Structure 1
């Protein structure tokens, strides 16, 4: 909304969006100087806590993450994941939502076979039957529901655990970028906040 409504232009900032599959890759790009600012889901915040990037603005609480399964693989509930192959993107919200769903079912990661892949890879693998379930997020969940039809099953989402933990999204930058560009970050944040009001 900030781009479409011209809010960045109003504060004198030109934004050129680039798409990434997961937060850790964004942080690597920040550190190398390939990008200046990134938006991350809650999973990648652990890297910020470790000092690898600087959070400078809150985005929103996520409701987009989900563990989904292919019912034709003999899965009717989360406990049925035992012994199944699950796609996960390590270091992201994918890993966190999977942990909560497994714990809720009395399982651990040792009870499933984890396959590391990005979200686009999970989508293809779940549709083709290479994996049995995936810890993913929207819009991949929309694609999976369309492709799997009646075999699409949601085993857990952020909303199910809202009483236990928050799933924040944030805007981040490299630590040295924050030190040198406080004014730019303030203007960027102002545009984002205006977009939040617009969307509300």
Structure 2
């Protein structure tokens, strides 16, 4: 009798343990996250490596794209639940198309768009770009900053021969081969082009001290269905933001995650401010970019969207209320 009782209790313990494991597994929520390989996504890699996602009951599946535009397209096309890293510029383009998406947070303010030119083609300053073949990738923030840089220096996009360079390998190779005279592109590609050209390279900062905003974006429908997952995701990123206060460890995580050179990381780390935010400067940037798109005939629309309709504040207000500064 006692032996049977012990056996029964042991069996019950096994069943309870199995049930507990099953219940624990069920509490993990899955999110498919689109991303592109730029260091402005640092908080994501830190959250993944430090297990902040799993500690917030999230199981993350990462899906890589070449550009921020491509990663945002992935979310719009249903290939991922949310996207990390695209800038505000493709969001502006999507707003003109009335695409039902929203940014839930900025995760970095960054300055990493450069124009790299060939000295043997006469490119040493902004004015030298007139009449030259200048490559960039259409619909990306690099195209906007190239246009803005030209305008700040008395030129327009019509003053250059614009070449749409879409393949990541060509962001470096096209200017190295001499297919184009200059390329407007992001880091780390700008740095690679500079190194490959050596003494023949001219490098110009296209942003002129104006930061871009790396975003976390999802469709309106997904956010409405999963607001608690948005909050969990941002909570994990907020924990990663705290970890950035240990810059040596944070750099090491991002360097390894993105397979970047240590010297390069030292150079570009200070060009990024890694923090969660939703502030009025983001709205101002999007409005400026919308005006630029209208002026340069990059949209058939002539009325600026209301960008407040493309901001979702609720989750960030729960996680980091002091970071939300949007005027409504």
The answer to whether the aligner puts 1:152 opposite 2:201 as a matched pair is: yes
Larger Rg: 2
> Higher helix fraction: Structure 1 or Structure 2?
2
Contact 1:101–1:155 under 8 Å retained in 2? no
Q: Deviations 1:68-118 (Å, cap 9, x if unpaired)? A: 212221111011001111111111111111012101221111110111122
Q: Quote the Cα distance in structure 1 between the aligned partners of 2:191 and 2:51.
A: 29
1:12-161, aligned counterparts within 5 Å?
Answer: 12-39=57-84, 40-50=86-96, 51-52=98-99, 53-118=101-166, 119-158=168-207, 160-161=208-209
Query: Within 1, Cα distance between the matches of 2:159 and 2:190?
Result: 24
Q: Which whole-Å CA distance do the structure 2 matches of 1:148 and 1:41 have between them?
A: 28
| Mean Cα deviation higher: 1-10 or 49-58 | 49-58
Number of equivalenced pairs = 196
* Structure 2: gaps (5+ residues): 1-45, 246-328
Instruction: Name which of 240, 243, 246 aligns with 1:195.
Output: 240
Deviation of 1:28 after TM superposition, in Å, equals 2.1
Give the whole-Å Cα distance in 2 for the aligned partners of 1:174 and 1:152: 41
Question: Residue 48 of structure 1: CA displacement?
Answer: 4.8
CA RMSD of aligned residues (A): 1.6
- Give the structure, 1 or 2, with the largest relative contact order (CA under 8 Å, sep 6 or more): 1
Distance 2:118 2:71 in 1: 30
Unaligned runs of 5+ in 1: none
Indicate conservation of the 8 Å contact 1:88/1:94, yes or no: yes
Give the whole-Å Cα distance in 2 for the aligned partners of 1:55 and 1:115: 30
- TM (norm. structure 1) is 0.91
Q: Secondary structure at the match of 1:107?
A: coil
Cα distance in structure 2, aligned partners of 1:99 and 1:178: 34
